[in-house]
A and B are shown apart, each in its own frame.
Chain A
Amino acid sequence: MNSHPEPVRLYGLLAEFDSADALLQAVYRAREAGFHRLEAYSPFSIEGLDEALGGTREYVPLITLGGGVLGALIGYFLQWYSATINYPINVGGRPLDSWPAFLPVTFEIAVLGAAFAALLGMLALNGLPRLMHPLFELEEFRRASSDRFFLCICSRDQRFDPQATRGFLDSLGALAVLEVPE
């Protein structure tokens, strides 16, 4: 454990658990204890963990829908404009605005737009890419991507107090409680 003689600005305190359930319990307890700035880290997606943390509003589906619609509009407009307005050409006696023939491309562009929106929206909302993060300072945190479950109480939380909070986390049966330097 890294205990520094002089106090350092903390990002927060990190409690380590060895199972999803333990983490989930810890989160509930912490919420009861009135902590708000909580972060829970797990090596896989755990049902209901984010609800436990207070939940977040889902924007990704909306963004995706937006991307799809936008793609469709752009796709069709592009074809309609180029084929009927910009350079109308008689192709095999077919109508200039052969809308049925324009649908496939419209569809493909719509799907493409939606998929892009979904992925990029997710990353943006998650604040990724973020290549540097205080948590990465901790050697132990490596296991967050393997077999360890972490609960972090951020120092920004008004109830945060280095000593008390550490005590609280110990009381949750954490394998260890670590300081996350800023």
Chain B
Amino acid sequence: MAQVFDRGLLLALKLSALIAVALVVAGFYLWRWAIDWPYQVGSPPPQPLPFSHLHHVGEDGIDCRYCHTSVETSPFAGIPSSDTCMSCHSQLFREVPLFQVLHQSVSDGTRLRWSAVNEIPDFVYFNHSAHISHGVPCTACHGRVDEMPMTERAASLHMRWCLACHRQPAQHLVMPAQVFSTMAQGSADPARQRALLTHYGLNMRRWLTDCSTCHR
């Protein structure tokens, strides 16, 4: 008989073992990637109109609330209706063919279908007004939209990400005046952080990590 195995066979065995391990690891990451779709950070989805926050916010300096009117008063920031756009574009860039969609929408009432950039599952109840009123700046979640030619997601929006802030809100908070500023930045100074927490009444914040805060 001699040996059951020879060197070649052994090598083959070891190699196949290695490959198997590699496949498992690869598979795992593939799966992770798959369940994240379409929640990818930094990949702007195609839009009916090439709307640029970079231009409107960064260059023209239009305030968030001009279009997202209900952000302070309702759970939803609000997506501007076509006639909101027309308040400027009835005059500006009338003839640019790109705006055909918009004009048509206003004329015959066909609605624009924007791809949702920041989408959370239906069992998560996010409330814009609550965050705004507690000094969470737009930038904390949406990033520097004033630097985005095409709007893209700035944060993963995973529960872990939400929790990070709900557990330690201090370093993200800003004074009410700064909330809508594109430069808004939480302060690193502990004293100031404490002050902000007191100002927004977030000193006792066990409830921030209650399940009921986001799930109903």
Quick check: do A and B touch in the complex, using CB within 8 A?
yes
- Measured CB to CB, the residues of A under 8 A from B are 87, 89, 131-132, 136-137, 139, 142
Nearest CB on B from A112, distance (A):
22
Nearest CB on A from B211, distance (A):
8
Chain A residues positioned under 8 Å from B5 (CB to CB): 131-132
Nearest CB on B from A5, distance (A):
19
Interface assignment of B4: CB less than 8 Å from any CB of chain A: yes
- Contact at B2–A131, with CB atoms within 8 Å? no
Chain B residues positioned under 8 Å from A132 (CB to CB): 3, 5-7, 10
Question: Which of B3, B7, B13, B163 meets A137, CB within 8 Å?
Answer: B3
Nearest CB on A from B143, distance (A):
27
- Contact at B209–A137, with CB atoms within 8 Å? no
- Contact at B209–A131, with CB atoms within 8 Å? no
Chain A residues positioned under 8 Å from B7 (CB to CB): 132
Q: Bound state CA distance, A137 and B163, in angstroms?
A: 63
Known contacts A131-B10, A132-B10; A142/B1 CB under 8 A: yes
B5 (CB) vs chain A CBs: closest residue = A131
Q: Bound state CA distance, A132 and B14, in angstroms?
A: 13
Q: Bound state CA distance, A142 and B3, in angstroms?
A: 11
- Contact at A139–B1, with CB atoms within 8 Å? yes
Q: Bound state CA distance, A131 and B10, in angstroms?
A: 8
Chain A residues positioned under 8 Å from B163 (CB to CB): 87
